[in-house]
Structure 1
Amino acid sequence: MKRFVICTIVLAMMASLSLTADLTAKADEFKPAGPQPVDPQSVDLIASFQHSVLPFLEQHCFDCHNADEQEGEFRLDNLAVDFDSIGNAQLWDEVIGRINAGEMPPPDHPQPSSAELERVVDWIGGRIKEGERARMSKRASVAFYRLSREEYSNTIQDLLGVQYDASVPGRMSADPEWKGFQRIGSQLSLSPSHVEKYLAAARSILDTAYPDKVAETRTWTKDAIDIDWPNRGRRAEFKELGVEDQVRTLIWPGHRLSYVEPVHGSYDMPPGIYRGKLKVSGLPSKKGRPPHVAIYCQQLDRMIFEQDVIAPENEPVVLELETYLEGQVKMTINNEVAGPSNSPMSGRPSGQYAFTTLDNPDSRAPWQRKMTDEDGNALYPFLIFDSIQWEGPIVEPSEQRKRDRFLPPGEFDIKDVRQSLTRFAGLAWRRPPSDPELDRYMEIVQAEIASGESVRDACKLGMLGILASQNFYYLREGTANEDRSNLDDWELASRLSYFLWSSMPDVELLRAAHAGDLSDPSTLKAQVQRMMSDPKIGRFTDAFPRQWLQLGSVGTFPPDQNLYPEYDPWLEKSMVLETTLFFKNVFGDNQSIREFLDSDWTIVNPRLASHYGMTAPPETGFQKVALTPDDHRGGLLTQASILSLTSDGTRHRPVHRGIWVSEVMLGKTPNPPPANIDAIEPNPVDQPRATIRMKLAAHTVHAQCAACHRKIDPLGFALDNYDAVGSWRTEEYVQHGTGKNPSVDASGVMPNGKSFDGPEDFKQLMVENLDGFGLAFIEKLATFALRRPMTVDDREAVRSIALASKADGYRLRSLVENFVLSDLFLKR
């Protein structure tokens, strides 16, 4: 019977897939038309086309691409000025490609000036981008937005108190991105494989929340002998010598040890949250680099805990961690810092000796590498392991209460089932379920009971259907057969909660929606302020900057270890954390978004401070520190995360940096480069060393390239004082060539004629354009919240939000509040 019921659930899910596919806008077919559409709404577009593009086409293109002569089988004189059509957009994109490649007009024809090329390419490119946004933002009478993996996991946690990591290998596919954003509705499509994974996820989640047998919370402890494999069999010997409780494990730089999981072997960990207490000491090297403890879980394929450690040998610290575990688990503990060889011949202790203290001569062989200098200072960052204690699975009372509201312990009668399913569906679907909807699940429950299943198990199967329904994993806005522009209160509650919490509305928000008060400005404002003070706002302050700033690309091109030997995974993570914590600080203090352009403070930990050449903070965690001019930092643009994601593994890339600044900070996406453009070649060994900027100058000789580079390159040149991993420099290292490394030239002239000399001058120009940055920032915020790109139709709404926010100095929390209260947020 269960197999039949599950098949019924799958068929219902597949039906929702078909429905969604029907509602997805299909690409328009290209149909040749006259050069001017007759739609009255296109009058401004046509007037602009006739002014900016048509004279160019008449002078340089129509002679070879008309009704009588179609060079290259391409006709241009009847190409419709309609960029909402994907077919037309592709043809216009080909026009740009041929112009940029220098193919049109041909070399033996009169050539246009650089200014003419720039005007035409910019006009066509801008219209293509507007058409793309319009196509992605099309909304039918009912619009569906699938939850991202992150949103799915958060919703499960808030609904049932179960931590389900959808990113674990084998669970759910990675979400597609659009310019860094992972929430765009038109990108998050649904496939049959998604349906299968949603069903499997729902089953696993409910089994964790309501197991057949409640797992007893247990405690496991492993000491240094347990994880030090050369000495693991010598416990009896150590006990006889009276040193069993003195043996510790020295974890040399780069050393990796296994068996730190609660229990190894074939033991299946009951699913749930496990809490660990790690007792360690950490001795920084003479240069100040602290050791870095990292615990890696093979099953989850990620680090479940890592932190720099500074603690004297005789004053170990206890570090606490929590993680979800399930089944057979394997873990390793590492000291993730660079150092000498960790083989027994030179580094870590071998099985011949048992380590107790650094000054114990019996802990190490006399021929092994020295660990301290004459004054007792550690020569390398050492980690000393004492023990790790695990406890779990742990279910907090608040999590248990979430589960008990649907399936309370004890007797469970059939009369309670409908009430329980109604409560569960109302929260899971974020709206009250209708009676016909509930009837379908009651039929499943009754069929299960009739086949001999318990009432409790039958109700659990009904919950499976609700959780696997498209009503759960899709946000739905609009009503069939009704053309309305505003959200209703239930839709508004979901839009608001998934914007600020990346999760479902809580009971209070749903209560306001049920009362019909949520759309009232005073109620909505009060709810926004309450939600921004809730700890769950941390999801917004982490997710939004990661997506807005495209931080997912950090580490895409791992730096060459020969050129950047100090670069390591913890530095990479620290770079990203600096940026997200910086955003969190600006938000928490309600500072102006001006801080994103320039600031006299930042957030660093010892690892990042060392990378920046700054004085290390006294503690190991991230801390807010004041900046001096000698630090050459401040704002987002000079943070290592931004500088590294716009570089490759060997060198900085001024053009990519310029594109990033233009697109992310100014809201202007440059046109794509011509096809088959020549790459920048390495410096010849027999020629003077030249900077990348010098080599880029060759591209600006051609009119087709100069038009775009004039706008992009200055934005990247301004950051030339920073190398591929964000370190400050005054000379650019050139691997090959003759003579000295050339000096960095970070000066430039903006398209508006304003000049700058270095990053500080450039940041001040950005600050002077705070209004322009404010518009771009609000567009990115709206893209994140509304799950669609902004179009020309949204410009006035964005400007009104910017105007309201400017009066308050663009303070971030106030800006978010203004956005939520705007028509842009309240409308479909």
Structure 2
Amino acid sequence: MVILVPQGADTQVLPVPPVPSTMQAFNAVVSTGRKGPLTEGASMVRRRDESRRRVAGQTGGRLLTAAVCAVVLAGAAVGTAAAQTAADASPRAVFDRYCVTCHNDRLQTGGLTLAATSVDADDPSRHADVWERVIGKLRTGAMPPPGNARPDAATYDAVASRLEAAIDRAAAANPDPGRTSTVHRLNRTEYRNAIRDLLALDLDVTPLLPGDETSDTGFDNNADVLSISTAQLERYLSAARTITRLATGLPPASPGFETFDVPLLLLQDERQDESLPLGSRGGVAIPHYFPVDGEYLIKLELRTNWQDYILGMGSEHQLDVRIDGELVKRFTVGGEARGQPAPVTFTIAEPGDPEWEAYLQTADENLEVRVPVAAGPRVVGISFVRNVREPEGILKPRQAGELLSNDEVYHGNAAVSAVGIGGPYDVTGPGDTPSRRAIFSCRPETADAADERACAAEIVSRLARRAYRRPVTAEDVDTLLGFYESGRESGGSFDAGIQLALERVLVDPDFLLRITRDPEGTAPGAPYRLSDVEIASRLSFFLWGTVPDDALLDAAEAGRLTEPAVLEAQVRRMLADPRADSLIDDFAMQWLHLRNLEDVKGDPVPYPDFDDNLVEAFRHETTLLLTSMLRDDRSVVDLLDADYTFVNERLARHYGIPGVYGSRFRRVTLPDRQERGGLLGQGSLLALTSYPTRTSPVLRGKWLLDTILGAPPPSPPADVPALPERGEGSRTTSVRERLERHRQAPACATCHASIDPPGFALEQFDGLGAWRTRDEFGNVIDATATMPNGRTVEGMAGLRALLLERPEQFAGTVTEKLLSYALGRGLEHTDKPTVRAIVRDAATDDYRWSALIAGIVKSPAFLMRNAAAE
């Protein structure tokens, strides 16, 4: 549940003792690695004026050039134009015969020379960065280019294996864990999760904190894009004040009011949420935090058409307001409620009765209720009582996205447009909330200052330990108690003192930043093992996206994480915890680019079935599939070949799966594995890689190369012409025909030869992932695809079968993505041996999620770090 903070939340500034400036403290951390003092300062519903900052990741910095896109599909036999055999395949002989014609000291094609005078093929560890590039090309069969003499498949494998073995032996003897950033700011998700676990306050911090950028790695937890500035720090100071006042139950200075908008394209003909009652339709469920016991105002707005007339008022509707499922008010709106007949016509050319004219613009003016609510997290449910009557006559098809005249929409369903929540009024107390129970683990036995200080010391030391992810010192506690005493004096209560001390905790560098300090005496550039508390912090942010819990901190402070059995036991415990859903919500959603689903739009002409309900169903399906895979500890390869999925009635109807009714999602076995199965047949990914008006083999091919095979193609040249939408003249050609003409341009041919084939194999899915045999112009779908190695596959089933021939390739991609996410940095050539070792070990356990994750946690890259160079 996500709690939304009222815009009117109090931000009163309390006086604090004078201390050095905030930026001085942060500068001290950044420049010296030492801690310095610091001064004071879900949902389908969308908060009004909410902004989200997204910086698209670039696709530069590739180790692989465009030719490596042939990765797709080097899975079967690589064509051979030469008779070189694996038995006598000396790496140097192979390179001299097939490669140095282009990659020599004079030409250096692609910026690469493989001449014996420049690189040593017998000791590849001496130039590991070069040979890792070569290995990538060998493993994919990308080089030599098509049309040139090539070794056979066994030789490709033998040479690559020899190079890998030599590099891996050297890496094992001299581990190079790489250098992670000294200072790594918490991103918004990590901050939100930390507040949830520290203060039992599940808070949507999006409007409170600065936005996060996404790095070239595709993840928003990369330290390179998580710096901190003075302007950002001011936002953190304000957020800390808002959060701690909510958590401690201090009343706001004045009532606030916040409006939550319901998306325009969200249909409200069915039950919207599991928290809404059976027999309801439409509306919305809003998780909301009520800061104190008191009265609150709930105000409703109904959806209007383009002329601002409220929809559906030609018949009576009952509209319920519930809090945590309990009915607090039922409104009746609509024509029958007023005892008036519906107008015969109601268009702009023929206005209806003046009274009705006014009513259709003001019917929701008095849809508000003021109700007492106990403090804490609640669900405000707004829904209509479902009317089981059906209108007579011939039903018209829904005309989504088009302007409807009033007589066409007059008798439709009413819908909620927005919900406003205001308050508190007539405050009666702070209430008994989960946050107050988590914070106030003790209460002073008397009003004596010594008793209060002792209790305050217990509270702040306990919470600071988890917030700072390390043992707290006497100096830490004294600093926090100074803030407690200032707040106690100015606020007039023990609770006010605790609030200011917690505000200080939340703006401490040791909370906002993940700080790693090189041990004294470590030689510059030398690798060293992280301390146990640093490993605990890295582990908790990897698996949970939040601060360590007491069990993990206890093990770290006791020095037990150096024991492999203890570390493995902690990993298994943490994966079984619900907080491990962070691997789905944060890692997987970014890896698969599913956070961009909110940008998916469908043109109503080719896709009249499009609405926000369908997009949300897509998201839910993929989330449930990923969650089931992780919870059941399935092989990651099953993501490509799952014979089941999760659907509700809306999605089942879209997929053509019979026998599914209701809004609840349930697991179903797929009836036709040729049409569906695994990620490649999921509507979320198929819609994400399409345009609003048509499919895009290019977008789908790029997504597969990047996400499934870990070989993103380079960015296109700046002057690439756009693909015609229909073809030349009046002829409506297929996307395949248009792309074939596009590929005739020399600047486009090389990349498209690798990108387009996997996209063509998915052409039997339309732009919203529905199965089809003809495109929007009536052209028969051709889903055959000829891969760069000459192999032909037929449709999604053929593409999936080809990918499954090399399961280690997909497992390697998942491992690379997971390792980058775990380390909070992009991978380098020095990380390749680590990835190969993890995949080799995981192969004995069928590439299960737990095997890959355990391999990462036990790796030198995770447990070690290089000291700063001089």
Bucket of the pairwise TM-score, normalised by the shorter protein: 0.5 to 0.7
Q: What RMSD over aligned residues (CA atoms) do the two structures have, in Å?
A: 4.8
Query: Which residues in structure 2 correspond to 1:601-640 (within 5 Å)?
Result: 601-615=644-658, 617-629=660-672, 632-640=675-683
CA pair 17-567 structure 1, distance change in 2 beyond 3 A: farther
Distance in 1, Cα, partners of 2:668 & 2:744: 45
Describe the shift of the 1:421–1:614 C-alpha distance in structure 2 as closer, same or farther (beyond 3 A): same
Instruction: Give secondary structure in 1 for the equivalent of 2:793.
Output: strand
Q: Distance in 2 between matches of 1:757 and 1:5?
A: 72
Does the C-alpha gap of structure 1 residues 61 and 490 become closer, same or farther in structure 2, counting only changes over 3 Å? closer
Choose from 100, 118, 133 the match for 1:51.
100
User: Residue in 2 aligned with 1:560?
Assistant: 603
Structure 1 residue identity aligned to 2:821: F
Change (3 A) 1:576 1:456: closer
In the other structure, the counterpart of 1:176 is 214
CA contact (8 A) 2:251 2:430 kept: no
TM-score when normalising by structure 2 = 0.65
Contact 2:602/2:692 (CA < 8 Å) preserved in 1?
Answer: yes
CA distance, structure 2, for counterparts of residue 397 and residue 310 of structure 1: 25
> Contact 1:160–1:403 at 8 Å: present in 2 too?
yes
Cα deviation for residue 160 of structure 1 reads 1.0
C-alpha distance 322-441 of structure 1, shift in aligned 2 (>3 A)? closer
Deviations 1:535-570 (A, max 9, x none): 222232222221110112224252223332221112
Q: Which residue of 1 aligns with 2:704?
A: 661
Q: Report the 3-state secondary structure (helix = DSSP H, G, I; strand = E; otherwise coil) of the residue aligned with 1:597.
A: helix
User: Could you tell which deviates more after superposition, 541-550 or 806-815?
Assistant: 806-815
Q: Deviation per CA, 1:731-774: give whole Å up to 9, x if none.
A: 1224xxxxxx3211111122333320111111111111211000
Tell whether 2:852 aligns with 1:815: yes
Alpha carbons of structure 1 residues 752 and 678: separation in structure 2 relative to 1, 3 Å: same
SS in structure 2 of the partner of residue 748 of structure 1: strand
Structure 2 residue corresponding to 1:401, chosen from 437, 458, 461? 437
Contact 1:347 1:368 in 2 (8 A): no
Query: Kindly tell me: are residues 200 and 312 of structure 1, through their superposed partners in 2, closer, same or farther at Cα, counting changes over 3 Å?
Result: closer
In the alignment, is residue 185 of structure 1 matched against residue 247 of structure 2? no
CA distance in 2, matches of 1:186, 1:693: 40
Aligned to 1:19: 31
Task: Tell me which moved more, 174-183 or 506-515.
Answer: 174-183
SS across alignment from 2:589: helix
Aligned partners of 1:18 and 1:365: how far apart in 2? 70
Kindly provide the amino acid, as one letter, of the partner of residue 807 in structure 1: T
Equivalent of 1:10, from 5, 8, 22? 22
Residue 346 of structure 1: how far off its partner (Å): 5.5
Partner of 1:196: 234
Answer yes or no: is the 8 Å Cα contact 2:214–2:220 preserved in 1.
Answer: yes
- Report matched runs for 1:790-809 at 5 Å: 790-809=827-846
Matching of residue 322 in structure 1 with residue 287 in structure 2 = yes
The residue that corresponds to 2:269 in the other structure is 291
Aligned equivalents of 2:303, 2:491: Cα separation in 1: 55
Pairwise CA distance, 1:686: 4.0
Question: How many pairs does the alignment contain?
Answer: 652
Deviation track 1:644-682 (CA, whole Å, cap 9, x = no partner) reads 111222221111211110011001121222220111123
Post-superposition offset of 1:54 = 5.0
- 1:743 equivalent in structure 2: 780
Q: 1-side partners of 2:776 and 2:621: how far apart?
A: 26
Match of 1:701, SS state, is coil
Distance 1:154 1:345 in 2: 43
Q: CA deviation at 1:194?
A: 1.4
The answer as to whether partners of 2:201 and 2:434 remain within 8 angstroms in 1 is no
Which of 173, 192, 210 is the matching residue for 1:153?
A: 192
Report the Cα offset of residue 824 of structure 1: 3.4
Amino acid at match of 1:5: P
Do the aligned residues in 1 keep the contact of 2:177 with 2:527 (CA within 8 Å)? Answer: no
8 Å contact kept, 1:604–1:623: yes
After TM superposition, the structure 1 = structure 2 runs for residues 512-551 of structure 1, keeping only pairs within 5 Å, are 512-551=555-594
Secondary structure at 2:197 match in 1? helix
1:490 and 2:533 are equivalent in the alignment? yes
Q: Once the two structures are superposed, what CA deviation does each residue of 1:755-802 show, in whole Å capped at 9, x if it has no partner?
A: 201111111111112110000011111122211122211111111111
* AA of the residue aligned to 2:193: N
- In the TM superposition, residue 634 of structure 1 has moved relative to its aligned partner by 1.2
Distance 1:332 1:763, change over 3 A: farther
**From 203, 206, 211, the counterpart of 2:244:** 206
| Residues 11 and 647 of structure 1, relative CA distance in 2, 3 Å threshold | same
What per-residue deviation string (whole Å, max 9, x for no partner) do you get for residues 69-120 of structure 1?
A: xxxxxxxxxxxxxxxxxxxx9xxxxxxxxxxxxxxxxxxxxxx99879x9xx
Deviation at 1:56, TM superposition (A): 9.0
Structure 1 residues 450, 310: closer, same or farther in 2, change over 3 A?
Answer: closer
- CA distance in 2 between counterparts of 1:198 and 1:818 reads 36
Taking structure 1 as reference, are residues 637 and 161 closer, same or farther at Cα in structure 2, changes over 3 Å only?
Answer: same
Counterparts in 2 of 1:56 and 1:694: CA distance versus 1, 3 Å: farther
State the TM-score, normalizing by the size of structure 1.
0.68
> Displacement, 1:504?
0.9
- CA–CA distance in structure 1, aligned partners of residues 534 and 483 of structure 2: 28
Q: Which moved more, 1:757-766 or 1:421-430?
A: 421-430
* Aligned: 1:430 with 2:469: yes
The answer to whether the Cα contact below 8 Å between 2:33 and 2:515 also exists between their aligned partners in 1 is: no
Q: Using a 3 Å threshold, how does the CA distance of structure 1 residues 422 and 359 change in structure 2: closer, same or farther?
A: closer
Is 1:755 the counterpart of 2:781? The answer is: no
2:50 paired residue number: none
> For 1:129-169, what per-residue CA distance to the aligned partner results, in whole angstroms no more than 9, with x for missing partners?
xxxxxxxx99668622211111101101110112321113x
1:466·1:472 contact (CA, 8 Å) conserved in 2?
Answer: yes
Closer, same or farther in 2 for the Cα pair 1:821/1:333, shift >3 Å? farther
Query: Which position in structure 2 is the counterpart of 1:413?
Result: 452
Pair 743,20 (structure 1): closer, same or farther in 2 beyond 3 Å:
farther
SS of structure 2 residue aligned to 1:176: coil
Contact 2:686 2:765 in 1 (8 A): yes
> Could you tell me which amino acid in structure 2 is paired with residue 404 of structure 1?
F
Measured in 2, the distance between the counterparts of 1:778 and 1:703 equals: 35
Task: State the SS of the aligned residue for 1:652.
Answer: coil
The Cα of 1:454 is off from its aligned counterpart by: 6.0
Task: Give SS of 1:372's match.
Answer: coil
Q: Deviation at 1:432?
A: 1.1
Check whether the contact 2:249–2:431 (CA below 8 A) recurs between aligned residues.
Answer: no
Q: Superposed, which structure 2 residues align to 1:137-536 within 5 Å?
A: 143-168=182-207, 171-212=209-250, 268=256, 291-292=269-270, 306=273, 322-325=287-290, 332=300, 343=311, 365=342, 367=344, 372-373=390-391, 398-405=434-441, 411=447, 412-444=451-483, 457-479=496-518, 481=520, 482=522, 484-536=527-579
Alignment match, 1:133: none
- Give me the whole-angstrom Cα distance separating, in 2, the residues matched to 1:214 and 1:422: 27
**Alpha-carbon spacing, 1:505–1:308, altered in 2? closer, same or farther (3 Å):** closer
Distance 2:542 2:846 in 1: 23
d(CA) in 2 for partners of 1:591 and 1:477?
A: 34
- CA distance 1:312–1:2, shift in 2 (3 Å): closer
Structure 2 stretches of 5 or more lacking a match?
Answer: 1-12, 36-91, 112-129, 131-143, 151-175, 261-266, 320-330, 347-386, 399-411, 866-870
* Cα offset, 1:593, TM superposition: 1.7
Whether 1:694 aligns to 2:730 is: no
Paired letter, 1:476:
I
Q: Which residue of 2 aligns with 1:827?
A: 864
Distance (Å, rounded) in 2 between the aligned partners of 1:311 and 1:358? 25
Q: Tell me which amino acid in the other structure corresponds to 1:462.
A: A
2:655/2:770 contact within 8 Å kept: yes
- Flag the 1:651–1:378 CA change in 2: closer, same or farther, 3 A: closer
Change (3 A) 1:12 1:423: farther
Q: Could you tell me whether the CA contact under 8 Å between 2:733 and 2:779 is conserved in 1?
A: yes
* Contact 1:590 1:812 (8 Å CA) reproduced: yes
Return the alpha-carbon distance in structure 2 between the equivalents of residues 678 and 317 of structure 1.
Answer: 44
For the 8 Å contact 2:542–2:821, the answer to whether it is kept is yes
